């Protein structure tokens, strides 16, 4: 039972997360490690509870965006390797060394700065070198990578543990993605021939797990798939993986008022919706202050008593409206499904992303901190 004090909340099915990770493990095989990406509060699912579950469920490494996320993981349990996927700022370098967070390196100056900090701390720090094969954000150019690998391996306070790249359009562009994979593979082969290849080689994010199964190497970096959402795109996957994962998060609010309005009645700010007929309209206890984007105004749908109900009028900070004319039994206090399943109907993060003009990653991570996350499943205890 959901306590009456909750006006808007998210429910997280821990069993679904555990099963998704197990399926990915089965998919890549026992010789490939899994780095579970838990950036942005574990994609909106709640970092600490999700990290605890993943530790129990067999993840090998955690991928984070910043040192604060790394510290939250350390607070849950020690001993798991953590890779910071973004570049460290200069003042973060000694903190990363102190906290034993593996940094992503893209240049020789970064490597030298980490070497100096690790030497001062009398540590040998494991690092990963990123190679830019087309993403354009971080990473050393392909042509400079062999020389940088040699430089890093000469720095006594650093241990080059990993080499990786990142697909930039794997869900949409098969040709460019294959080119990225071929360039990276040639680099790996070159380093191997020179006995310079690091122990861990990785390229696959969630999209590449579906579309580039030949580039698992010995480590993969699933994010969205762990949470049961397949990355959208133009490419059709022949893998059963996208169908077999199960969405872990559902998002709900409640009906606070139901009223009947006559034709010609405007609804919400800006009068963007004017009733053409007599309507029953429900006021809902969620808005963009909870992360439900204003872009869904007059476009999105919600589930009430198992029926799809259109969102009408502009979404406001704390409330929005839905047309419940065809659901006569709707009452004040009823649950409303924003993401999730009720009866035979389901609203997915993909669907909301289409209404919001964005991607599922943003839909999930935009759910704000004022929305409590409630956990259930065999592992919740």
**79 close to 60: Cβ distance less than 8 angstroms:** no
Query: In the chain, which stretches have pLDDT less than 50?
Result: 1-3, 239, 381
Query: If DSSP codes are grouped into helix, strand and coil, which group holds residue 343?
Result: coil
Nearest to 226 by CA among 81, 30, 8, 61: 61
| 245's tokens | 């994962």
Q: Residue 253 and residue 21: Cα distance in Å, rounded?
A: 28
pLDDT of residue 320: 98
The reply to whether 258 and 308 lie within a common domain is yes
For residue 238, tell me if it sits in a domain: no
Structural domains counted in the chain? 2
Same domain for 212 and 264, yes or no, is no
Rounded Cα distance, 213 and 207, in Å: 10
In angstroms, the CA 184 to CA 189 distance is 9
Upper half-sphere CA count for residue 112 (Cβ side, 13 Å): 5
Residue 298 resides in a domain: yes
**Catalytic residue (one of 252, 269, 288, 375):** 269
Domain end: 197, 227, 257, which one? 227
Which tens digits make up the pLDDT trace of 58-74? 899 999 999 999 999 99
Residue 35 phi, psi (nearest 5): -100, 110
Please give the Cα distance from 237 to 106 (Å, whole number). 32
Cα–Cα dist 369/41, whole Å: 10
Q: What is the DSSP string of 196-260?
A: ---SEEE---HHHHHH-GGG-TTEE--SGGGGT-PPP-SSPP--SHHHH----EEEEEEEEEEEE
Examine the domain organization and report whether 199 and 304 are in the same domain: no
Q: Kindly name the residue from 39, 164, 227, 288 that is annotated as catalytic.
A: 39
Tokens in use for 128? 């990963």
- Same domain? For 124 and 198 the reply is yes
Residue 337, pLDDT score: 98
Answer whether residue 40 is part of any domain.
Answer: yes
Instruction: Judge if 255 and 197 occupy the same domain.
Output: no
In the beta sheet, which residues pair with residue 84? 64
Annotation says 227 is catalytic: no
Residue by residue, DSSP assigns 140-190 as: EEGGGHHHHHHHHHH-TTEEEEEEE---SSTTT-HHHHHHHHHHHHHHHHH
pTM exceeding the 0.75 threshold for the entire prediction? yes
**Under a CB-based contact definition with an 8 Å cutoff, are residues 281 and 323 in contact?**
yes
Which strand (E) or helix (H) includes residue 77? none
304 and 176 inside one domain: no
Q: CB of 348 within 8 A of CB of 229?
A: yes
The CATH number given to whatever domain includes residue 148 is 3.20.20.10
Distance CA 209, CA 21 (A): 13
CA-angle at 102, arms to 249 and 363, nearest 5°: 25
Please count the other Cβ atoms lying within 10 Å of the Cβ belonging to residue 100: 16
| Burial group, residue 240, by CB count within 10 angstroms (0-12, 13-18, 19+) | exposed
Residues 273 and 356 in one domain: yes
For the four alpha carbons of 24, 26, 30 and 32, in that order, the dihedral sign comes to negative
Query: Considering only CA atoms, which of 249, 256, 269 is closest in space to residue 367?
Result: 249
Amino acid 379: pLDDT = 53
Q: Which domain holds residue 221?
A: 31-227
The pLDDT value recorded for residue 380 is 54
Spatial distance between the Cα atoms of 97 and 212, rounded to a whole number of angstroms: 34
Predicted pLDDT at 235 = 83
Residue 339 placed within a domain = yes
Question: Active site includes 48?
Answer: no
In tens, the pLDDT along 260-315 reads: 999 999 999 999 999 999 999 999 999 999 999 999 999 999 999 999 999 999 99
138's tokens:
């971080």
Q: pLDDT at position 244, please? A: 81
- pLDDT reported for residue 147: 97
Q: Contact 359/276 with Cβ under 8 angstroms?
A: no
Eight-state DSSP code of residue 348: -
CATH at residue 301: 2.40.37.10
Q: Is residue 4 part of a domain?
A: no
């Amino acid at each position: 039972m959901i306590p009456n004090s909750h006006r808007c909340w998210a429910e997280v099915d821990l069993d679904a997360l555990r099963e998704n990770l197990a399926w990915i493990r089965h998919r890549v095989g026992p010789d490939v490690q899994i780095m579970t990406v838990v950036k942005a509060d574990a994609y909106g699912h709640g970092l600490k509870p999700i990290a605890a579950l993943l530790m129990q469920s067999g993840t090998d490494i955690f991928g984070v965006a910043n040192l604060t996320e790394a510290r939250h993981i350390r607070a849950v349990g020690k001993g798991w390797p953590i890779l910071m996927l973004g570049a460290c700022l200069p003042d973060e370098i000694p903190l990363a060394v102190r906290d034993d967070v593996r940094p992503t390196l893209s240049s020789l100056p970064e490597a030298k700065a980490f070497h100096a900090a690790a030497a001062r701390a009398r540590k040998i720090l494991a690092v990963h070198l990123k190679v830019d094969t087309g993403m354009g954000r971080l990473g050393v150019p392909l042509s400079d990578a062999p020389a940088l690998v040699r430089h890093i391996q000469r720095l006594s306070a650093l241990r080059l543990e990993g080499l990786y790249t990142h697909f930039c359009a794997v869900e949409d562009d098969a040709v460019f993605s294959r080119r990225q994979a071929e360039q990276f593979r040639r680099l790996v082969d070159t380093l191997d021939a020179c006995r310079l290849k690091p122990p861990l080689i990785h390229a696959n994010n969630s999209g590449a797990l579906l579309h580039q199964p030949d580039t698992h190497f010995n480590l993969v970096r699933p994010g969205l798939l762990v949470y049961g959402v397949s990355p959208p795109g133009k490419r059709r996957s022949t893998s059963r993986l996208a169908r077999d994962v199960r969405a872990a998060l559902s998002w709900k609010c409640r009906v606070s008022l139901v009223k009947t309005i006559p034709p010609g009645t405007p609804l919400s700010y800006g009068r963007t919706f004017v009733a053409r007929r007599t309507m029953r309209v429900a006021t809902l206890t969620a808005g963009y202050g909870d992360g439900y984007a204003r872009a869904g105004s007059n476009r999105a749908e919600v589930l009430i008593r198992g029926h799809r109900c259109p969102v009408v009028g502009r979404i406001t900070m704390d409330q929005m409206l839905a047309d419940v004319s065809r659901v006569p039994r709707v009452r004040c206090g009823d649950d409303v499904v924003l993401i999730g399943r009720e009866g035979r109907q389901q609203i997915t993060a993909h669907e909301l992303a289409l209404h919001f003009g964005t991607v599922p990653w943003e839909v999930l991570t935009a759910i704000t901190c004022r929305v409590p996350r409630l956990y259930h499943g065999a592992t919740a205890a």
